[in-house]
Amino acid sequence: MTKRAPKSDFDTAWKELLQRHFEAAIAFFFPAVHSEIDWRKRPSFHDKELQYAVRHAGRGKRTVDLLAKVRLKRGAQVWIFLLVEVQNQRDPDFEERLFGCNALLSIRHRQHVVSLGILGDTQRHWRPNRFARAACGCEIDFRFNVVKLLDYEDRVAELEQSSNLWAKVVLAHLKTLATRPDSETRLQWKKRVMHGLAEQGCSNDEIVDVFRFLDLVMTLPPDLEGEFQEYLDKLQEEQKMAFLSSYERKAMSKGRREGRVEGRLEASQSAVMGALQARFERTPAALQARIRQLDDPARLMGLLQIAVTANSLEEFEKQLPTVAQAA
**Same domain, residue pair 128 and 224:** no
* Three-class SS of 5-17: CCCCCHHHHHHHH
Specify if 89 maps to a domain. yes
Distance between alpha carbon 53 and the CA centroid of its chain, in Å?
A: 20
Three-class SS state of 279: helix
**Same domain, residue pair 115 and 143:** yes
CA dihedral 105, 58, 42, 287 (to 10 degrees): 130
Specify if 15 maps to a domain. no
**Same domain, residue pair 200 and 321:** yes
**Same domain, residue pair 178 and 43:** no
Specify if 14 maps to a domain. no
**Same domain, residue pair 286 and 143:** no
Specify if 29 maps to a domain. no
Domain-ending residue, one of 151, 167, 198: 151
* Three-class SS of 29-80: HCHHHHHHECCCCCCEECHHHHHHHHHHHCCCCCEEEEEEEEEECCCCEEEE
**Same domain, residue pair 169 and 147:** no
- Contact by Cβ (8 Å): 25, 168: no
Number of domains into which the chain is organized: 2
Domain-ending residue, one of 123, 151, 179: 151
For 159-221, list the strands marked E by DSSP.
none
Specify if 167 maps to a domain. yes
**Same domain, residue pair 268 and 168:** yes
- Contact by Cβ (8 Å): 113, 104: no
Domain range for 129: 37-151
**Same domain, residue pair 197 and 271:** yes
pLDDT of amino acid 323: 47
Specify if 8 maps to a domain. no
Which residue type does 277 have?
Q
245-269 b/e with 16+ CB inside 10 Å = b?
eeebbbbbebbbebbeeeebeebbb
> What are the CA-CA distances from residue 37 to residues 47, 73, 111, 326 (Å)?
21, 5, 15, 20
CA atoms of 211 and 203, how far apart (whole Å): 12
**Same domain, residue pair 232 and 306:** yes
**Same domain, residue pair 127 and 229:** no
Domain-ending residue, one of 133, 151, 169: 151
pLDDT of amino acid 188: 96
pLDDT of amino acid 262: 45
**Same domain, residue pair 167 and 299:** yes
3-state helix, strand, coil in the chain (%, to 5): 60, 15, 30
Q: Of 152, 87, 78, 159, which is closest to residue 116 (Cα–Cα)?
A: 78
CA atoms of 149 and 199, how far apart (whole Å): 24
Specify if 115 maps to a domain. yes
Specify if 206 maps to a domain. yes
pLDDT of amino acid 326: 42
**Same domain, residue pair 221 and 238:** yes
Q: Of 274, 275, 265, which is closest to residue 299 (Cα–Cα)?
A: 265
Per-residue pLDDT of the chain (327 residues; tens, 9 = 90+): 556 677 888 888 888 788 889 999 999 999 999 999 999 999 998 888 888 787 777 665 557 888 999 999 998 899 999 988 876 667 888 899 899 989 999 998 888 999 999 998 888 888 999 999 999 999 999 999 999 999 999 999 999 999 899 999 999 999 999 998 899 999 999 999 999 988 887 777 788 888 888 888 999 998 898 899 889 888 888 877 666 655 455 565 555 555 444 456 776 787 788 778 767 777 787 888 888 888 777 677 778 878 877 778 888 887 775 544 443
